[in-house]
Amino acid sequence: MIGDRWTVLIIRDAFLGRTTFGEFRDHTGAPRSTLVNRLDKLVFNGILYKNPYNYTPLRFEYRLTDKGRALYPWALLIWDWDRKWADTAEDQLPQRIYHKGCDSWMRPVAACAHCKEPLALRDIGHSVNHDYTAPTANTRSKRLTRARSNRGGAPADKSLWHVTDVIADRWTPQILAACFFGIGRYDDFRRKLGIATNILSDRLKQLVETGILVRNSYQESPPRYRYELTEKGEALYPITLALQQWVLEWIPQANTLPIHLKHTPCGKTLTTAVVCNVCSEPLKAHEVRFVFRDDKSRDNIK
């Protein structure tokens, strides 16, 4: 549903209060036909709904449904990752987040909903769910659509371009998920994920180029390599967990996942909550305020 760069950028804009076709077109920089297609899919999948705001002529705006708004914790983590790891010189992303709940500047953190501890990769245990049957894999090759400018008009909003280059693709999140479970050898990726070799090679190369994975030699003859997550790559883990939590809560047909996850320190089945790093309370949209770099009101925000 959201494994596509334009879709992620539309959701970004919806959370920033953009609602009309023209606003989405200007800010995402998506070609018109692509934007029509992605908005239709988001409506079809129940993430956006069309709301008439003018009757003669008939005009619609696009607003987030409850299911769409439930992506908020995931969107906060994407914002946080992009702000830390992308070159944000040109972007229009809000620079800071203020939490009204505890009256503090804050960062969103993925935490265990049971014991409230921040989630670390080493603390998540997993076991295979033997009742799970995988959906049929679509092996059509498609290169990642790289960030690009729209032709003419205002320059597109470049915020989140880096993170969408990495995660907004059908296969890349699956490769990353395999890495999170300790898979690192080419043959193991191929066997476990059922990816066509050309796609797998292409995505691994891109993940190395973007600094998400490093390729380490573990055998000289014949040469063999292992792909390992960098710090930047490991920092994508909370985003994956937040998205998985959304899938469990909002996609009824996905209520079984191939793997059971457990938070080892407290022993409970993993439920991910995105919380404030200062007060550890779950973040709700109406209690969070984004502050832009040039926002003059930021010093008297209270």
Residue 283 binds Zn ion, judged by CB under 5 A: no
Smallest gap, in angstroms, from Cβ of residue 100 to Zn ion?
8
**Residue 8 or 97 having the CB closest to Zn ion:** 97
At 229, which helix (H) or strand (E)?
A: strand 224-229
Specify whether the CB–CB gap between 64 and 50 falls below 8 A.
no
- Cβ count within 10 A of residue 180: 20
97 touching Zn ion, by CB under 5 A: no
Contacting residue, 279, 284, 293, 301, with Zn ion by CB under 5 A = 279
The secondary structure of residue 136, as a DSSP letter, is: P
Q: Is 247 in the site for Zn ion (CB under 5 A)?
A: no
Cis peptide before 57 (omega within 30 of 0): yes
Distances (CA, A) of 163 to 30, 193, 292: 17, 22, 19
Q: How far is the CB of 274 from Zn ion (least distance, A)?
A: 12
Residue with smaller CB distance to Zn ion, 31 or 267 = 267
Name the nearest CA neighbour of 274 among 121, 113, 122, 47: 113
- Of residues 240 and 272, the one with the C-beta less far from Zn ion: 272
| Nearest residue (CB) to Zn ion, 162 versus 263 | 263
Nearest to 30 by CA among 14, 55, 9: 9
Work out how close the CB of 239 gets to Zn ion at its nearest, in angstroms, rounded to a whole number.
Answer: 19
Alpha-carbon gap, residue 97 to 78, rounded angstroms = 13
Q: In the bound complex, what is the minimum distance in angstroms from residue 45's beta carbon to Zn ion?
A: 31
Does position 276 bind Zn ion by CB under 5 A? yes
Min dist. Cβ of residue 302 to Zn ion (A) = 14
Segment interacting with Zn ion, rule: CB under 5 A, options 52-60, 97-105, 137-145, 204-212: 97-105
Nearest CB to Zn ion, comparing residues 97 and 212: 97
Cβ proximity to Zn ion, 120 vs 193, nearer residue: 120
Crossing angle, helix 172-180 and helix 197-209, to 10 degrees? 70
Kindly indicate which of the ranges 75-83, 95-103, 191-199, 214-222 contains the residues binding Zn ion, using the contact rule CB under 5 A: 95-103
Tokens matching residue 202:
């292409």
CA distance 230 to 182: 13
- Of 1 and 120, nearer to Zn ion (C-beta) is 120
301 binds Zn ion (CB under 5 A): no
Rounded-to-integer distance, Cα 272 and Cα 246, Å: 9
- Which CB, 83 or 162, lies closer to Zn ion? 83
30 binds Zn ion (CB under 5 A): no
Choosing from 78, 86, 111, 112, the residue that interacts with Zn ion (CB under 5 A) is 112
Binding test (CB under 5 A) with Zn ion, winner from 22, 44, 102, 143: 102
Interaction of residue 238 with Zn ion, rule CB under 5 A: no
**Which residue reads 């908005």 in tokens?**
39
Select from 173, 263, 272, 273 the one that contacts Zn ion (CB under 5 A): 263
Report the C-alpha gap between 170 and 192 in whole angstroms.
16
Report residue 207 as tokens. 């993940």
φ/ψ of 14, rounded to 5, equals -60, -40
Q: Which residues bind Zn ion (CB under 5 A)?
A: 99, 101-102, 112, 114-115, 263, 266, 276, 278-279
